[in-house]
Amino acid sequence: MSGVFSRDFAAEMPLVDHAEGVWIQTVDGQRYLDGMGSAGVIGIGHGRTEIYEALAGQGTKVSYVYTASFTHPWQEELSKSMLSVAPEGMSAVYFVSGGSEANETALKLARQYHVERGEPTRHKMLARWQSYHGVTIATLSLSGRTSWRAPYDPYMLPVVHVSPPYNYRCTICGGEGDCTDHCIEELERTILLEGPETISCFFAETIIGTTASGVTPGPDYYRRVRELCDRYGILFICDEVLMGYGRVGRPFAIEDWGITPDMITCGKAIGSGYAPLGAVIVSEKIAGFFREGRRRFVHGFTYSGHAMSCFVGQKVFEIMKREDLFRRPGRIGAYLHERLGALQQRHEMIGDLRGRGLYAGLEFVADRQSRAPFAPEQQITTRLVSMMRERGVIVGGGVPGANYGKGGDHIQISPPFIITEAEIDTLTGALDEVLTVLGQEPRM
């Protein structure tokens, strides 16, 4: 019996021996292609000895200092590195240990910013349904991931949720438009109904990940979000914990919309799994306000700016730069999407294929014409993920609720940035086999 308090006591977890590149190997010799990049974390690939060699040298010079009293070279260096690839207008980085902490930090910073500016009534937050921002109570209340929220209802934080720009299931434009008009109207109506003077920030995953597998807004959406936020004095915060740092073929996904948010939150790929690391990239508008007013941000985890984590983060950054991994996912991702597009042609049950770069989401439907989802009892996602695993490939099961709580099967593919075309063929080959089996089953 394991002494670990497991997330899922019902499931037997295979014991990992080692991992290298895109492969994970268990102690009994089974190999798995890590098609979900271990929760979208692994960018530079598993088992890069260079990181450990660097740690064995310089990295041990400072393992920990309390960053409320000291700074250290690693966070100084890493902040400069990250800002060098961040959108124009961003000027400071606050380091934490993961994505939930980054989001928690951003919403506190937004709140304090308004309080210091003499706007204490701005205590509400805006976010979207079918989004995921983390597991702490604050970030879960921000999230629109209904199945994970349910056990902890009611929430203490005043978060108001609006519709995601989920084109494939839009009840208004029905997939004919790109959802922008409808979503922007709803956002403005919500701001006006709640009272702009009560709202601190609008929080959005630039491209929605786990909860809706790659829902990507139309080309004008974020420009109009930015305009609304500016008009009503609301801060706009992009959660790029999953989609940022190269995954979509750019350092940050928001670049594709050509606007600068007030903050960008990061996690996952910035440490690439070699150390727990998260960050909030803060615009000069906010950082300058604190710096020039000599204001103190009333916040700080014991492990904020952890020296070893920042050291590892800097090594990850150097590898990303040297191997062009901020851009490569765009190129190799085009091949992944091409292969998945071919599968969509062959398998009627793939209703929608979405995402960018090395993030792809597939939504499954019982009937392509009407977009009717499979009956939840058919457990398509769960069975597909386990059939893929039997074939030695890991893909991520989407969270039910893609169809507004009425089922909605989807999976996500988010491999490490170093995946090759041959490895993509292995992944899509296994998927082809599994879809052939599932596609022949009678619909319930």
Binding residues (CB under 6 A) for ligand PLP: these are 39, 98-100, 103, 132-134, 205, 209-210, 239, 241-242, 267
Based on CB atoms, which residue is closest to ligand PLP, 39 or 387?
39
Q: Given the complex with ligand PLP, which of 139 and 378 has the nearer CB atom? A: 139
CB-count exposure of residue 193 (10 Å: 0-12, 13-18, 19+)? exposed
Question: What are 444's strand-pairing partners?
Answer: none
Cβ proximity to ligand PLP, 132 vs 252, nearer residue: 132
The least distance separating ligand PLP from the CB of residue 397, rounded to whole angstroms, comes to 13
Which backbone phi and psi does 26 adopt, to 5 degrees? -90, 170
Of 281, 255, 254, 239, whose CA–CA distance to 128 is shortest? 239
Question: In the bound complex, what is the minimum distance in angstroms from residue 144's beta carbon to ligand PLP?
Answer: 11
Least distance to ligand PLP from the beta carbon of 148, Å?
Answer: 11
Least spacing, CB of residue 24 vs ligand PLP, in Å: 18
Shortest distance, position 134 Cβ to ligand PLP, whole Å: 4
Q: Residue 267 Cβ, how far from ligand PLP at the closest point, in Å?
A: 4
> Tokens at residue 152, please?
């902890």
- Judged by CB, which is closer to ligand PLP: 209, or 355? 209
CB nearer ligand PLP, residue 355 or residue 366: 355
Distance of CA 289 to the CA centre of its chain: 28
How many other CB atoms sit within 10 Å of the CB of residue 91?
A: 17
C-beta of 101 vs 409, nearer to ligand PLP: 101
Our CA dihedral for 389, 425, 320, 281, rounded to 10 degrees, sits at -60
C-alpha–C-alpha distance, residues 26 and 16, integer Å: 4
Q: Name the residue whose CB lies closest to ligand PLP.
A: 99
SS3 102: helix
Minimal distance, residue 197 CB to ligand PLP, in Å: 28
Q: 38 or 428: whose CB is closer to ligand PLP?
A: 38
Q: Which is nearer to ligand PLP, 134 or 401 (CB)?
A: 134
Give kind and range of the element (H or E) at residue 314.
helix 307-322
- Distance between CA atoms of residues 252 and 246, nearest Å: 7
By beta-carbon proximity to ligand PLP, the closer residue of 333 and 344 is: 333
Q: How far is the CB of 372 from ligand PLP (least distance, A)?
A: 28
CA distance 422 to 282: 39
Q: Is 243 helix (H, G, I), strand (E, B) or coil?
A: coil
Closest distance of CB 249 from ligand PLP, Å: 18
C-alpha R_g of the chain = 22
CB of 127 to ligand PLP, least distance (A): 11
Only one residue has tokens 């619909």, namely 443
Closest approach of ligand PLP to the CB of residue 326, in Å:
18
Residue 346 in contact with residue 151, Cβ under 8 Å? no
Q: Are 10 and 2 in contact (CB under 8 A)?
A: no
Burial 313-322 (b: 16+ CB within 10 A, else e): bbbbbbbbee
Asked if residue 51 lies in contact with residue 431, where contact means CB atoms within 8 angstroms, the answer is no
- The values of phi and psi at residue 205, to 5°, are -70, 125
119, two tokens: 């706007």
Contact assessment for residue 399 and residue 147, using Cβ atoms and an 8 Å cutoff: yes
Q: Which is nearer to ligand PLP, 99 or 251 (CB)?
A: 99
**Closest CB to ligand PLP among residues 203, 374:** 203
